[in-house]
């Protein structure tokens, strides 16, 4: 039964409900690495890292840029609470590429005033936007 492979997916950001519907699989980045999740996954929560989100269903797959947040996985429902999520058509590719260059420059500086963790996070966000934009 095809309907048996779907789970409810909800992605909520501070400014909107980004996605609410059914999916057969999602792929995303967590602090533990990249994961793929199907229905009936064991219950767990994870911390999200910026990266590409892939949502798969019978019509194919959609890509989006997903930023920091949390994911709650239940056997029939997945909830994602993210700082931000963007569809490819919402991303300004030139701005994302400029942010990538700025972050890389900051990471290469040997200035004690540079917050390296913050620069790395900015780089990961920019790369997620670039990847999603190119897949759209």
Instruction: Give the domain CATH number at 97.
Output: 1.20.5.440
| Nearest in space to 78 (alpha carbons), one of 40, 51, 112 | 40
Residues 19 and 67 in one domain: yes
Indicate the number of domains in the chain: 2
State residue 19's pLDDT score.
Answer: 97
- Band the pLDDT of 2: cuts 50, 70, 90: low
Tens-digit pLDDT profile for residues 115-131: 778 888 889 999 999 99
CA–CA gap between residue 70 and residue 99 (Å, rounded): 24
Residue 110 reports pLDDT greater than 80: no
Residues 51 and 118 in one domain: no
Tens-digit pLDDT profile for residues 24-80: 999 999 999 999 999 999 999 999 999 999 999 888 999 999 999 999 999 999 999
Across 96-106, average pLDDT: 92
* Contact predicate 77/66, CB 8 Å: no
| Nearest in space to 127 (alpha carbons), one of 71, 31, 135 | 135
Proportion of the chain in helix, strand, coil states, percent, rounded to 5: 30, 45, 25
Which residues constitute the domain of residue 69? 2-86
């Amino acid at each position: 039964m095809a309907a048996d492979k779907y789970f409810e997916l909800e992605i909520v950001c501070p400014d909107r409900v980004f996605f609410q519907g059914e999916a057969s699989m999602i792929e995303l980045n967590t602090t533990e690495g990249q994961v793929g999740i199907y229905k009936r996954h064991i219950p767990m929560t994870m911390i999200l890292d910026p990266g590409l989100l892939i949502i798969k269903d019978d019509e194919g797959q959609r890509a989006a840029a997903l930023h920091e947040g949390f994911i709650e996985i239940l056997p029939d429902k997945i909830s994602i609470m993210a700082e931000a999520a963007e569809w490819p058509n919402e991303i300004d590719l030139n701005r994302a590429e400029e942010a990538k260059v700025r972050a890389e420059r900051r990471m290469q500086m040997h200035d004690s005033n540079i917050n390296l963790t913050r620069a790395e996070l900015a780089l990961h966000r920019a790369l997620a936007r670039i990847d999603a934009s190119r897949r759209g």
